[in-house]
């Protein structure tokens, strides 16, 4: 098999596998109310905050912006509160997913099944937590959902968040494939930058939260995956100039 033949699909989760952000936003606001902070993020603010990858990082960034006079001596107490907020938020999000408030985006499950039927490997590369991934995919794919994925990288295994390529480099190593044999699926500019830094060609399916991002370096930008099949994906992949300089790009990302 050629070194440049498509052998694996690597999926982001939030916004890509499922349009989860409205449920995440509601869960954040639930956590803020639960601890009596008096915060309420609206959609416009949350859209801006999505430029910060990672839920805990997003809370901390907002808190320091809202209260720039926070003293370093308060750092430990601050982090404890951030951790507690994130625990409450995660539980609220999982409850929403379990109640059916979030489902996979159009075409995602069909493409996953087609890829598995044709012998491609699947992986997940996300900045979200393992419990969020499990809640979403358990409901969408069944209790044995994990068996469909050869490798999973998440917030617990890749502490350097996107746009850093750490999670993608970890997945390439776990799959034992080069970036010229894999294709990434993302919905945001941070995700695209992370995938590109790992040398990966990328298909973008924006949401209303990311529609204004710069996707000029993507292989394709689609409204969703409903009209996409593996045959078309292979044609785009084989025609992509991604292989030029792939090794150099990967080397720079690892340096």
241 CB burial (10 A radius; 0-12, 13-18, 19+): exposed
Rounded CA-CA distance 228/157 in Å is: 31
Contacts of 145 (CB under 8 A, 6+ apart): 134, 137, 138
| Given the residues 12, 19, 154, 187, the one annotated as active site | 12
Known catalytic membership, residue 12 = yes
The DSSP bridge partners found for residue 10 are 123, 184
DSSP for 209-253 reads TTTTS--TT-SEE-S-STT--HHHHHHHHHH-GGGTTHHHHHHHH
What are 213-221's contacts with CB under 8 Å, separation 24+? 213/188, 213/189, 214/189, 215/189, 217/192, 218/186, 218/192, 219/183
Q: Are strands 121-125 and 201-204 parallel, antiparallel or unpaired?
A: unpaired
Question: Is there a contact between 51 and 210 (Cβ–Cβ < 8 Å)?
Answer: no
| Given the residues 14, 19, 154, 187, the one annotated as active site | 14
**Active site residues per annotation:** 12, 14
């Amino acid at each position: 098999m050629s070194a440049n033949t498509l052998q694996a699909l690597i999926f982001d989760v939030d916004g890509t596998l499922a349009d989860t952000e409205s449920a995440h936003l509601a869960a954040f606001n639930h956590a803020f109310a639960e601890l009596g902070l008096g915060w309420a993020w609206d959609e416009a603010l949350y859209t801006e905050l999505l430029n910060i990858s990672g839920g805990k990082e997003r809370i901390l960034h907002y808190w320091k912006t809202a209260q720039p006079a926070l003293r370093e001596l308060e750092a430990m107490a601050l982090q404890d509160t951030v951790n507690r907020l994130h625990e409450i938020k995660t539980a609220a999000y999982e409850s929403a997913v379990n109640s059916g408030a979030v489902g996979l985006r159009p075409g995602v499950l069909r493409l996953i099944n087609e890829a598995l039927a044709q012998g491609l490997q699947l992986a997940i590369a996300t900045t979200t937590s393992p419990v969020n991934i499990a809640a979403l995919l358990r409901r969408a794919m069944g209790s044995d959902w994990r068996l469909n994925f050869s490798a999973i990288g998440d917030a617990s295994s890749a502490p350097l968040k996107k746009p850093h390529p750490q999670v993608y480099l970890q997945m390439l190593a776990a799959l034992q494939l080069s970036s010229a044999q894999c294709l990434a699926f993302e919905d945001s500019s941070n995700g695209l930058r992370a995938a590109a830094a790992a040398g990966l060609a990328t298909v973008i399916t924006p949401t209303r939260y990311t529609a204004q991002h710069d996707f000029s370096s993507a292989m394709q930008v689609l409204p969703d995956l409903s009209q996409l099949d593996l045959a078309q994906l292979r044609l785009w992949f084989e025609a992509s100039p991604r292989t030029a300089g792939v090794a150099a790009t990967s080397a720079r990302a690892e340096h």
